[in-house]
Amino acid sequence: MWTHSHQCSQTIAIAWFVICLLVAPLQAATITIINIDAPNEGLNDPAPVTPVGGNTGTTLGQQRLLAAQFAADLWSALLVSDVEIRVALQFSALGGSASGAVLAFAGPTSIFRDFPGAPLANTWYPSALADTLANADLDPVGVEVASTVNSDVDGNVVLGTLRFYYGFDRNAGSNVDFVTTFAHELAHGLGFSSFIDGNSGARLMNLDDAYSRHLIHRGAVPPDFPSMTDAQRLAALTDGPNLRWNGPNVRAASGRLTLGASPEGDVEIYAPFPFQPGSSVSHFSTSLLPNELMEPFITGPIHDVGLTLELFQDLGWQMLEPMGFACDTMPGGDVSQGQAPCEEDVPDNGPNAQTGVIGDVYAFEANAGDQIELQVDTTDANLDPALQLLDQTGNLIASGDDEVPCAVPLVCQHTCPQIVQTIPASGTYFVVVLDTASESCTGGSYEVTADGTGGITLIGDDTTRFVPGGTSLQSWAKGLDNNK
């Protein structure tokens, strides 16, 4: 395991003032990576490399920048903001050893309070969120987030022979998945950060911040951070597993966890003793299962933001609404239109599938040459899923069965399916999830996710939504019975 550490690489600017509001429709956030590396370094490193995992860069610097934007687009596809979010990124030698290193750090460059649109008075908000809530750029000169990545990871000493993996397909092997690393760091800059002093328990200028307002110390009186004294907060910062997040959105979604949540839905926050600067409080606990993106140590490739999505809603972020998916364009078979996704009587052209197997069907549009990565993960142990990609005439383009580990190991000892495919021609494509029902698996729930390096349009019941290239599409969740 290797540390994900977050800090502010610049001095945080503090501001509160009155501005004029502008009114604009809700739209997906635009997150722009700003390269602040010197020539021939970091994001400008000219060392030749081979394209990998959907990343078409031919120099190390190009691959780094493309992977950083891919990670940023994971968030862009989920967050609503009419104000551009600018992220200053550089690679620097941060050192480390053969057994451990800080991979990267990031944080907001400014924080604001009492701006027009602020949900709570006398409360600090990170720059990107404050801009979004105010519907204006509160600091038009500066960037909202700053991040530094450890370039030594790509050398021969730090972490030994391991390197950053810059592909988009989660196929990092024993290497360190860069998309996971940078998506994690971006989350710190977007708001997954506490401003409580780890040495004293004091609030910044004796005011609450949006993150710490949702922290509670289970069993303490009072339990909530805003009501505590500095000494009480200080005690809570090192009392894991009793430091908890109790925002309503996280609590409502905490049932996805098999470990790390209380019966009431409060979720454990990382609070080891002694206090660990850069890690304590501003991460989920390492006890959570399935593993979350925002734990302090990398546990493998994770491109699903998980409970961080609901935590951001607790902070005040708005999310793009999930869409239903159309069934009436599915070729052939007996399609039942109802709650999305639809169901299709799938022919015998998939892995381990038999004639008459019922599959859940999702639709999207893509352009020739786009690369699509599809992956199914299980949310319980009783489903043995398989995956198909069909073209607009119903022909099988690709299939998957046991390519990647499942978040929840299957009782039938199988693993989860993945497809990485270049789209052969522009048009409509269908994703079919099957239950192969082999051995002791009896059916259950799953989540299917899609990443696209080109532009992909999700097909909804009565509408469509274009998703830019390199964006992680909306996750589709569904229960699938044993239909063998």
- Quickly state the pLDDT bin for 76 (edges 50, 70, 90): confident
- Quickly state the pLDDT bin for 359 (edges 50, 70, 90): low
Which of residues 455 and 287 earns the better pLDDT score? Answer: 287
127-134 vs 178-190: helix axis angle to the nearest 10? 60
- Quickly state the pLDDT bin for 179 (edges 50, 70, 90): very high
- Quickly state the pLDDT bin for 174 (edges 50, 70, 90): very high
Average pLDDT over residues 48-76: 93
Per-residue CA distances from 309 to 80, 133, 471 (Å):
12, 17, 16
Q: Is the separation of the CB atoms in 353 and 393 below 8 Å?
A: no
Q: Give me the residue label for tokens 């998945």.
A: 177
Can you give 21-38 as a three-state secondary structure string? CCCCCCCECCEEEEECCC
The C-alpha atoms of residue 41 and residue 46 are separated, in whole angstroms, by: 8
Please give the pLDDT value at position 390: 77
Please give the pLDDT value at position 207: 98
Global pTM value:
0.71
Please give the pLDDT value at position 137: 97
- Quickly state the pLDDT bin for 436 (edges 50, 70, 90): low
Tokens of 33: 């990576």
- Furthest-apart CA pair in the chain: how many Å? 67
CB atoms within 10 A of CB 416: 25
Please give the pLDDT value at position 11: 33
Q: Percentages helix, strand, coil for the chain, rounded to the nearest 5?
A: 15, 30, 55
- Quickly state the pLDDT bin for 429 (edges 50, 70, 90): confident
178-190 vs 60-76: helix axis angle to the nearest 10? 50
| DSSP-derived 3-state class of residue 405 | coil
Residue 451 has pLDDT above 50, yes or no: yes
**For the CA atoms of 5, 9, 11, 17, what is the dihedral angle to 10 degrees?**
-80
The C-alpha atoms of residue 55 and residue 64 are separated, in whole angstroms, by: 9
Please give the pLDDT value at position 471: 35
Residue 257 has pLDDT above 80, yes or no: yes
Residue 91 has pLDDT above 50, yes or no: yes
Residue 387 has pLDDT above 70, yes or no: yes
The H-or-E segment that residue 399 falls in is strand 396-400
Q: What percent of the chain has pLDDT over 90?
A: 54
| DSSP-derived 3-state class of residue 185 | helix
DSSP 8-state assignment for residue 259: B
Average pLDDT over residues 385-400: 78
Residue 472 has pLDDT above 50, yes or no: no
Closest by Cα among 264, 254, 259 to 286 = 259
Please give the pLDDT value at position 443: 58
Which of residues 372 and 252 earns the better pLDDT score? Answer: 252
266-275, 324-333, 354-363, range with the lowest pLDDT = 324-333
- Quickly state the pLDDT bin for 380 (edges 50, 70, 90): low
Q: Is the separation of the CB atoms in 279 and 312 below 8 Å?
A: no
- Quickly state the pLDDT bin for 468 (edges 50, 70, 90): very low
Please give the pLDDT value at position 360: 65
Q: Give me the residue label for tokens 């989860």.
A: 416
- Quickly state the pLDDT bin for 113 (edges 50, 70, 90): very high
Q: Give me the residue label for tokens 């990092």.
A: 172
Which of residues 369 and 118 earns the better pLDDT score? Answer: 118
CB atoms within 10 A of CB 97: 10
Mean pLDDT, rounded, of the chain: 79
Residue 13 has pLDDT above 80, yes or no: no
Residue 9 has pLDDT above 80, yes or no: no
Q: What percent of the chain has pLDDT over 70?
A: 72
Bridge-partner residues for 279, per DSSP? none
2-16, 381-395, 399-413, range with the lowest pLDDT = 2-16
Residue 367 has pLDDT above 60, yes or no: yes
Give the CA count within 13 Å in the CB-facing half-sphere of 1: 10
Which of residues 319 and 133 earns the better pLDDT score? Answer: 133
Query: How confident is the model over 214-254, as pLDDT tens digits?
Result: 999 999 999 999 999 999 999 999 999 999 999 999 999 99
Architecture of domain 360-460: Sandwich (2.60)
Q: How far is CA 426 from the centre of its chain?
A: 28
Closest by Cα among 23, 57, 78, 172 to 468 = 78
173-182, 318-327, 431-440, range with the lowest pLDDT = 318-327
Closest by Cα among 286, 364, 287, 292 to 324 = 364
10-19, 149-158, 258-267, 309-318, range with the lowest pLDDT = 10-19
- Quickly state the pLDDT bin for 422 (edges 50, 70, 90): confident
Domain locations in the chain as residue ranges: 24-192+299-322, 196-293, 360-460
Please give the pLDDT value at position 180: 94
The H-or-E segment that residue 390 falls in is strand 385-390
333-342, 374-383, 399-408, 427-436, range with the lowest pLDDT = 333-342
Residue 317 has pLDDT above 60, yes or no: yes
Residue 378 has pLDDT above 70, yes or no: no
CB atoms within 10 A of CB 199: 10
Please give the pLDDT value at position 254: 93
